[in-house]
Structures are given as structure tokens and as C-alpha cells.
Amino acid sequence: MFRKVLLSLLLFAGLQLSAQTFNFQHFDVPNSAATEPDNINARGDIVGFWFDHAGVQHGFLFSQGTFTQLDFPGATGTKTAGLNNRGDIVGTFADASHIQRGLVLEDGIYSQLDFPGSTSTQLEAINDAREIVGFFTDTAGRTHGMVEFQGQFTQVDVPGSISTQIIGLNNRGDFVGDFVDASGIQHGFLKSGDVFTTIDPPGSTFTFCFGLNERNSIVGSFADPAGRGHAFLDQGGTFTQLDFPGAASTDGNDINDAGIIIGDFFDNAGVEHGYIATRQ
């Protein structure tokens, strides 16, 4: 079963910039060609994905100092993107036809979960109630957000958008993502209760929102007018820019309740690495 929701849209007013400093720690899967950490839970466990030197994509779980490789059985590539405090994991795998399918990993058992009637599905986050969010592509090629809870699927579209993706989710059921408006401009958003709020850091030309915690501190990425990508932290409309030292571009992917931020950056050779950032 699924249902479609279109909810009201608000804009942030009185945006502010904040000066905060962070300590950055390099975070790469050993011997990887590229690493992207995507989600961190309250314990500090991290999931994401990495590429080996043959170009194959794998998921990973980092817990108590140990990396565990995660691969959906029979997949040609695996991306793990979200986990909850119980240790349930969601993500995406590519099947033998290289079509993207949703994956769920619970108690060591993999299962496939796709939005009904979709041509591809990507699962991005799961909370402690086992509510799952992500996005899917319909038969017309349009991208929609999705929520799955106890077997019921809900299609989610930001009002007036031509494309919607849901990426991050907290335990209150609030979620963040991005949408493309009718003019083709990409914005971030927060959906809390029945209200969508557009999120764009000052001076941004496009925005992605990737993660949030229980306090609705939000992290994501934006491009400045020169086209350079930066991570950001949004705390109630006060924005802080984050850049990994010396990086060509930086993304902010998630934040937990302790305020630990994870993300990825590209070095000047175009190689993707992960990082962990904590306030000084």
C-alpha cells in the first residue's frame, strides 16, 4: 500500500552565519580507492560505502574501531547509507541488471525493499521505530521521496517540486532531503510535523541536506557562487560552513546527538575521502 502527501512549504527568514571551529579527523576504509561515510548513530557507529581498486562498490559498518565489509548477496555493487541505534541498516544495491534496489539488513539478514511500481529505489535512513526513508524513480523517470513504516509506503513530494529526495531521518520522524523547483534550482528541506521548510545557506547556488539529529541540527552541502562545494551545519537558521583543510570540496553527511559530524571530501587529485569533525 502507498499514499501520496503534499504538505505546506515555509521559508527560513533572518538567516545568520556563525563562526565555529572544528577538529577534522581523516576517515578512510583501509586500502580503499574512495570512501564515503554517510550515517552515524548515538554510539558512534558509522555506515557508508567504499570502492576497491577494481572499481567495485561495497558497504561498510565501522563499530568499536573495526570495519566490516557489507555486500548484498549477488549484488554487483552495494551502498549502505543509514543505521539506527539497534544496528539495523538500510541502503541500496545494484542487481545483475545494474538496477538500484533498496536493501535492509536486520539481525544479519539481508532483504530487498522497493517502492511499489518503481523502476529503482534507494533507501537512505532508518530510525529506532524502524521507519525508513529514501527515494524512488517512477515509470516516467521522475524522482519522489518515500517513507516506509510497517509495510505501508508513502510517496512524498515537496509542494511545487519537480524532483524530491529524502536522505536523513531522526527518531521523531522529522526528515531532510533536497528538491528541485520549477525553475530547476536545487534546495534543501526539512519536514517536521506537517510542514516543509526550505533550507539554503546564504549565498548558495544549490543545496543538499543529508542528515539531522534529535535537536534538528542539520548538516548538508552547498555550492558557492564560484561553484565550490562546502559542508554546512544549520542550527535553527544559523549556518556554519565546514571545509576539510586543503580539500577541493567538502560534504556534510550526518550529525549525531553528541554533535559529531561525519562527511566526505575530495582532495585536489579528485579522490574521495571520509572525515569525522568535532567542535574544538
3-state secondary structure the chain: CEEEECCEEEECCCCEECCCCEEEEEECCCCCCEEEEEEECCCCCEEEEEECCCCCEEEEEEECCEEEEECCCCCCEEEEEEECCCCCEEEEEECCCCCEEEEEEECCEEEECCCCCCCEEEEEEECCCCCEEEEEECCCCCEEEEEEECCEEEEECCCCCCEEEEEEECCCCCEEEEEECCCCCEEEEEEECCEEEEECCCCCCEEEEEEECCCCCEEEEEECCCCCEEEEEEECCEEEEECCCCCCEEEEEEECCCCCEEEEEECCCCCEEEEEEEEC
Q: How confident is the prediction for the chain on average, in pLDDT?
A: 93
pLDDT at position 9 over 80: no
Is this structure's pTM higher than 0.85? yes
pLDDT tops 70 at residue 45? yes
Q: How confident is the model at residue 12 (pLDDT cuts 50, 70, 90)?
A: very low
Each domain of the chain, given as residue ranges in start order, spans 2-279
| Percent of the residues in the chain that have a pLDDT greater than 90, as a whole number | 92
Around Cβ 147, how many Cβ atoms within 10 Å?
22
Q: Which fold has domain 2-279?
A: Neuraminidase (2.120.10)
Average pLDDT over residues 176-182: 98
Task: Using pLDDT thresholds of 50, 70 and 90, give the confidence band for residue 20.
Answer: low
pLDDT tens digits along 226-265: 999 999 999 999 999 999 999 999 999 999 999 999 999 9
pLDDT of residue 21: 85
pLDDT tens-digit profile of 50-66? 999 999 999 999 999 99
SS3 content of the chain, % helix, strand, coil (to 5): 0, 60, 40
Query: What's the pLDDT at 18?
Result: 56
Closest Cα partner for 203 from 239, 243, 254? 239
Residue 121 pairs in a beta bridge with 136
Spell out the residues 6+ positions from residue 172 whose beta carbon is closer than 8 angstroms to its own: 192, 214
Q: What is the mean pLDDT of residues 13-31?
A: 75
Q: pLDDT tens across 112-150, in order?
A: 999 999 999 999 999 999 999 999 999 999 999 999 999
Q: Are 130 and 109 in contact (CB under 8 A)?
A: no
Q: Is 92 left (phi over 0), alpha (psi -120 to 50) or beta?
A: beta
211-to-7, 189, 220, 271 alpha-carbon distances in Å: 20, 11, 7, 23
At residue 15, the pLDDT reads: 43
